[in-house]
Structure 1
Amino acid sequence: MTAEDKNQQAVKAMQDGELENAAKLLNESIEENPEDPVGYINFGNLLSAVGENEKAIVFFERALGLDQSQATAAYGKGNALYNLERFKEAQDTYQEAVKLGLHQSDVYYMLGMSCFQQEAFLQAVPQFKTAVELNDQDTEAWFHYGLCLAQTEHVSEAIDAFHQLNKLDDAHADSWFNLGVGYAYQGEPDKALEAFNRSLEIQPDHALSANGKKQMEQAMEDALNQENPE
């Protein structure tokens, strides 16, 4: 069996949850072909999968040392850094993966998340926008895109993003809550109340939605009293 075959079998073993077998195959592959970056990338992915992120970084860097054009090595290193909560380093590494030609939704999503974790919402917006353009079925990308749009005061666009998410997953309580917040911000208490109620139907103990509902009901009652004073 060639080193390439062992790499392929190792990937399948990882997918099947046979991690010890995957590690054995990858060790053999690297020993037989130590100049091939693919074995190091796969071993890095395996180490990340079991939470050994510091060790994983070493393997990804070894792969990049052998071949600086390995975009998947940069992406894997970015994931390991993200898992270690080294978000600025992760951001820089994901950007390197993009420069190397890895234009996939997941890369832009993780690049957006790295910015999001640093509260760099303005930087995150275009990354999430690209992520949903490349994969319009990604509910978490839509959710964080909506959050970042709201944080940067693009409320109408945020509402559109949450609506898009709700079309994909009508049972996303946090999306309905944030939709309610958007409508409340725009002075549409009826729509806000409807969104908060939907969130509570999905998750009855959603405290933020319960509070939002209470505030909207109070606002609507106050408005009614102003229109019809005794």
Structure 2
Amino acid sequence: MGKMETGIEYLKEHKFEEAARAFTEAIDEDPSNPVGYINFGNLLLHLNDFERAKTFYEKAIELDEHASTAYYGLGNMYYEQDKFKEAQEYFEKAVHEGLENGDIYFMLGMTLVQQEKSRFALPYLQRAAELNLQDVDAQFQYGLALAQSQQIDLAMEQMKEVLKLENEHSDAHYNLGVGYLYYADVEKALHHFNEALRIQPDHVLAGNGKEKVQEMLNQNTNDND
């Protein structure tokens, strides 16, 4: 196993000093290889050392202007600092340079969500969901973007897909409750609000939804008397 692979393994194991040593040795052995700088940038990003991470990513780009994972790293760096417009720009550059996986589309979609541009986020989150079929977050965020784009039926179907992956997903239950409430199916709405509260008793939105349903049921009872 080479120094680079060793460093990546250490990083996965959260052995940061060992990872730094391995990446430093890899850079010393081949200073013209951008991958060493990208991996060191990833380590620094993991440690929230944003300024130094930026330096390493920029060095990688200086060596190879098409280094897509360096642009991805810079996107993550800006995202972690809540600088979503800058993050979006670098994620778009990463895609332009050929990075093609579920994570890049997910992060690009999330930068747009954070900028309250859910309609523009939708195709990216859809692609992320298609590429990461077992990723609960990708599936859920796609469903949420559908709901925010007023595609209620598709959003509800997507939330059901989330629950197939993780039945104890309180937010998926809550959003299904909202969907059924939209169609005035109060019994199913109440069921999903109750499930959300069973899983997460302090789920404020589910609690509010349940109160609204109970008011509707009480009103129906009074009207029938």
One of 42, 51, 55 as aligned partner of 2:52? 55
Matched, 1:81 2:72: no
**Matched residue of 2:2: which SS?**
helix
How far is the alpha carbon of 1:28 from its aligned partner? 2.3
Which position in structure 1 is the counterpart of 2:188?
Answer: 191
5 Å matches for 1:15-164?
A: 15-164=12-161
TM-score by length of 2: 0.95
How far is the alpha carbon of 1:223 from its aligned partner? 2.5
In 1, the alpha carbon distance for the partners of 2:8 and 2:205 equals 43
**Which whole-Å deviations, capped at 9, do the CAs of 1:4-33 have from their partners, x for residues lacking one?**
921121111112222111112222222232
Q: How many residue pairs were aligned?
A: 225
Which position in structure 2 is the counterpart of 1:14?
Answer: 11
How far is the alpha carbon of 1:41 from its aligned partner? 0.5
One of 199, 207, 221 as aligned partner of 2:218? 221
Which AA in structure 2 matches 1:188? D
In 2, the alpha carbon distance for the partners of 1:197 and 1:13 equals 43
Which stretch shifts more, 127-136 or 142-151?
Answer: 142-151
- Structure 2: segments with no counterpart, 5+ residues: none
Which AA in structure 1 matches 2:192? A
In 1, the alpha carbon distance for the partners of 2:72 and 2:137 equals 19
CA RMSD of aligned residues (A): 1.4
In 1, the alpha carbon distance for the partners of 2:202 and 2:23 equals 47
How far is the alpha carbon of 1:75 from its aligned partner? 1.1
- Structure 1: segments with no counterpart, 5+ residues: none
Alignment identity in percent? Answer: 43
Contact kept, 8 Å, 1:122 with 1:152, in 2: the verdict is yes
TM-score by length of 1: 0.93
In 1, the alpha carbon distance for the partners of 2:109 and 2:68 equals 18
Which AA in structure 2 matches 1:105? G
In 2, the alpha carbon distance for the partners of 1:132 and 1:51 equals 28
